[in-house]
Amino acid sequence: MKWANQWWSLPVLDHTIPWLTYLGSHFAVVLFILLSLIITKQRKIFRRLLLLYGIQSAIVYSLKFLIQRERPFHFLQEMASKLSRGPGEILDPSFPSGHATYAFMMATLLAYWFPRYRVLFYIAAGFIAWTRIYLGLHYPTDIVVGALLGYGISRFFLLCSGIKGGK
């Protein structure tokens, strides 16, 4: 755990990763869904993506508050959270990672629509998920379970929803 949070610690990463981690945030997901409406002009897809986001959030936050796992920086002295802890930040439990869930949800959707670039989408999602460990906000298991939820629920949803994929 320490290696992911401190071994890679570089001033340039300490300044850029807090910004990159927001690519897996609620704001990024809402922006992604709004852009899908603007690009496709299909309210049906927009509504279905909102539903998927709601399902993902309900599952993630149910697990978070059921399991109540403290974030690493709360009790591992060698772990320093590199993210500012302003009002309303980092108040929820650690397991599973919502950022990893949402990053892999978006990667799965993009990979479905643009299969030629799927490897890049999953690498980007993995990097976003890793930023959470780097910042001392999650354990690796939080990230793995979040990624599996994001991918698995999204794939199941795509199978059931009738949203068309790319070729």
> What's the rounded mean pLDDT across residues 133-140?
83
Per the structure block, which two tokens stand in for 52? 């998927």
The more confident residue out of 3 and 132 is 132
> What's the rounded mean pLDDT across residues 5-16?
64
| pLDDT confidence of residue 86 | 42
| pLDDT confidence of residue 111 | 94
d(CA 3, CA 57): 30
Please report where in the chains the tokens 């500012």 appear, as a residue: 84
Confidence of residue 96 (pLDDT cuts 50, 70, 90): very high
**pLDDT, tens digit, 9 for 90 and up, residues 54-86:** 999 999 999 989 987 877 776 665 555 555 554
Amino acid making up residue 8 = W
For the ranges 47-61, 129-143, 149-163, which has the lowest average pLDDT?
Answer: 129-143
d(CA 159, CA 167): 15
Amino acid making up residue 133 = I
Contact (CB, 8 A) for 63 and 96: yes
| pLDDT confidence of residue 77 | 57
